[in-house]
Structure 1
């Protein structure tokens, strides 16, 4: 049976597909932050996620006439986004080097300080180091496993919905998630002091090395000062939730509720208003 939300979404999409500019804008506003957060977890760097989000949203808008309400609008958009992200040519350094989690763990031992970082903005840069590190470790997974883990344990999408998003059977999808969870769980248990107090690595002792390597920019932190969705979780709230849960999934999931950068969204709005977008011709 249709829910009221399903009916409302189909009506909204029908208006947008018919050229209603206000409906198109509403769809962009509805999808921009979820799509951006998905892209960010897949490509690591905000600038790359911005580009991917713009491309995905334009593809979503270009295919609105194919929406049949077989899934929620966000779920349907995730399917388009996942297809784009899995085939994206741009690769992060971890992907280019095919860096394994074991190799990444060994790299974290290099330059680990004996004491916590005490320099300027210590708390901010420790947050930044943690957030950057959890992004980097995801890049050590193959793309299929990464997207499965992100959908399941970060976004908490049901296995049936997620299997539809990635175009797999529910059984095959669950196996993919299990492999990713096992690999990340073993890595975090052996490496990360947030997931296991007995492990060797501490974010506060990696700050100086991360700055030296250019992975953390103390002048412009990419994640710790990133804009968030109005009313969403900030860095400190996400960290408090992680500490309460104190497990591998919490470490990977405890990012703020990032908002899509408005410059890119304005660029989409400009394109739609230009008269060059087929949907609104």
Structure 2
């Protein structure tokens, strides 16, 4: 089998070989090495490849076997127990404390608003009611609701800006 024909068979499955190797070996370096080794193994069997009905399945089987052999032999010093590409979705403690502090500040600012503004802000921006529902609940017209909401947002914005700019000259 010529190199060009071989590459036409292998190139479409090269990424799949890498992803399977990465899943099994959990190291990018080890997966890249495994991909190269598997392609070399496939090249050494290039005359037999044309007899396989599904070259992709054969390549994946060779990949799986090679990776399992690597894991058994532990020859690869780049193997890791934990995935290197794992990213924790947990919020860091410092950030969680900052968010909680900010939410407490925001709660105090909202509590300091006049009752009408507080109610409308809660209904519109927190509970996500539309203006018709707020008008029905508060017995206010749309213009009055918009004005009260605008004033509430402005007061909140100004107090947050003042808090964050405190000490900055």
* TM-score where L is the length of structure 1: 0.28
Higher RCO (C-alpha under 8 Å, 6+ residues apart) = 1
Q: Choose between structure 1 and 2: higher helix proportion.
A: 2
User: For the pair shown, which has the larger CA radius of gyration, 1 or 2?
Assistant: 2
